[in-house]
Amino acid sequence: MAGAEITDTGYVLHRRRLRETSLLLELFTRQHGRVGVVARGAAQGRKGTQPPLEFVPCHLAWSGTGELPRLLRAEPSDRPLVLVGERLFSALYMNELLMRLLHRGEGDALAFAAYEESLSHLADGRALEPVLRHFEALLLEACGYGMQLEAEGDTGVAIEIQNVYCYVPERGAVRETPNAPHRVIHGGTLLALAGQLPWDDERLREAKGLMRFLLQGYLGGRPLAARALFGLVVEDRS
């Protein structure tokens, strides 16, 4: 039974060969989150079967009742984004985060909007580090790991710019040194992540360290391939 046709807007996150003639595509869509589909005949380059490249917004259609439905259409809805060098590597890093943090069927409009906005900012020439930190924080929120950035985790007292905190996963920022894994960070950095303060070099440095610490835990300690392949994007520049 083929199942009803499903349509959505989205992007290709990842592709790999499936048997001799087909490709397995991982899509990220506005309404359905992450979706795995089979593009039959695409691996042979048949006319009309080639799926779009990554970072091209598309009108997508698929059908099927199993774990891997069949891709019916993938029609570009806009021009491809121009991403080269570090900006391309940064976009690939975002794709890998989505693949690692979201299971099929997971994702929502917030995560999709964060991804689409971040891709646009990368293509527009915005500073890389603020774009990536913003995307990471919003993605964690969409995955149910939302960060407490404006109030202390234990007391609810507002974060102060000049104070130094210990950030504990699932608990937030606390003033005392906890007997648990944590990251020391200034209040100004937390407020910058929340969009309440502008970025400066020190806040960006601290925010990168904090996000790496949190992501390492949520990724089970497994390193990201993008960090190994594209050190220009994720290596500390200090």
Domains and CATH numbers, the chain: 6-76 (2.40.50.140), 85-234 (1.20.1440.120)
- pLDDT value at position 80? 79
What is the pLDDT at residue 194?
95
Encoded tokens for 55: 């970072």
> CA-based Rg of the chain, rounded to a whole angstrom?
20
Would you tell me how many other CB atoms lie within 10 Å of the CB of residue 61? Answer: 17
pTM of model > 0.95: no
Instruction: Give the pLDDT of residue 233.
Output: 42
What's the confidence (pLDDT) of residue 171? 93
Residue 50 pLDDT: 65
Cβ-based neighbours of 107, under 8 Å, separated by 6 or more: 28, 29, 32, 33, 34, 98, 142
Residues 188, 150 contacting (CB under 8 angstroms)? no
The Cα–Cα gap between 228 and 169 comes to 25
The answer to whether residues 56 and 42 touch, using CB atoms and an 8 Å cutoff, is no
Q: What is the pLDDT along the chain (238 residues), one digit of tens a residue?
A: 467 999 999 999 999 888 777 899 999 999 999 999 998 877 655 555 566 788 999 999 999 877 889 999 999 988 878 899 999 999 999 999 999 999 999 998 989 999 999 999 999 999 999 999 999 999 999 889 999 999 999 999 999 999 999 999 999 999 999 999 999 999 999 999 999 999 999 999 999 999 999 999 999 878 888 766 655 444 444 3
String of b and e for 88-116 (b: at least 16 CB within 10 Å)? Answer: bbbbbbbbbbbbbbbeeeebeeebbebbb
